[in-house]
Amino acid sequence: MISHSLAAVIMAAGQGKRMKNPDKAKVMNTLGGIPLVHHVVTLARTMGCERIIAIVGHQRQNVISYLRKATPEVEIAIQDVQLGTAHAVQQAVPILHDFSGDIVILSGDAPLTRPETMMAALTKHREIQAAVTVLTAVLPDPSGYGRVLRDNDGRILRIVEHKDATENELRVREINSGIYLFRKEPLFAALNNITNDNAQGEYYLPDVFALFAQQGLPMLPFQVESFDELRGVNTVEQLQEMERLYASLSHTARA
């Protein structure tokens, strides 16, 4: 019997060096006066997640103190050293060992993803019983983003990080958002087989796609029309741009 339970893992460990404030975790920067991570917790709640785990690292005590006060239902996993996105998710494995169902991976610095988009992706994910569903977008300039590589039938072959991509792969304009839906069992099994043999020397979560392809597991790309929903914050300028988007969206919602 397939479980329709849902848990969320929120990636909130990053330092955000380009935010120019080493004393503040990136996810504690505010949008509309609310920390970025709180927006993402709200998304997980709206999706109906029964368990919400935040992976914290840089300046973690400030993040933990905030979450325990503002969103006490959120469970905490600590990534002492940031060794990559797969390593981050591994920190949630002991917490979710007794969980059965789907796991949504959310970025703590991507606060504009709409619940409607996530629920549509979740519906498709469950319809085809995908091992993984990834939110993607096609960009005029995909520089810096991981590329989604497909076969001639549109099926995902793998995802390659920008720094590891060949010249041909860099021409691909479909990017990986870093937002995923996984079935727990194949995800946890794959985490044990990811290596750090890449340009960054990190354990990349997108490496599960190549492993799933080898096993013939179904993988679903869910392409989002507006990249604004997937935007993350890496610089002060990006945060300022997101404030403008957020104000515009809030105004539209009130109109």
Annotated active-site residue 18? The verdict is yes
147-150 and 6-12 as β-strands: parallel, antiparallel, unpaired? unpaired
Quick one: how far is CA 178 from the chain centroid? 4
CA angle (83, 8, 210) in 5-degree steps? 55
Structure tokens at 106: 């959310």
d(CA 81, CA 57): 7
Write out the two tokens for 59: 């300046």
**How far is it, in rounded angstroms, from Cα 231 to Cα 248?**
15
CB 218 within 8 A of CB 130: yes
Token code pair at residue 100: 């059965």
Q: Which of 18, 68, 155, 171 is catalytic?
A: 18
- Under DSSP, the state recorded for 146 is P
Query: Residue ranges of the alpha helices (H) in 181-235?
Result: 184-191, 208-215
Indicate which residues carry an active-site annotation. 18
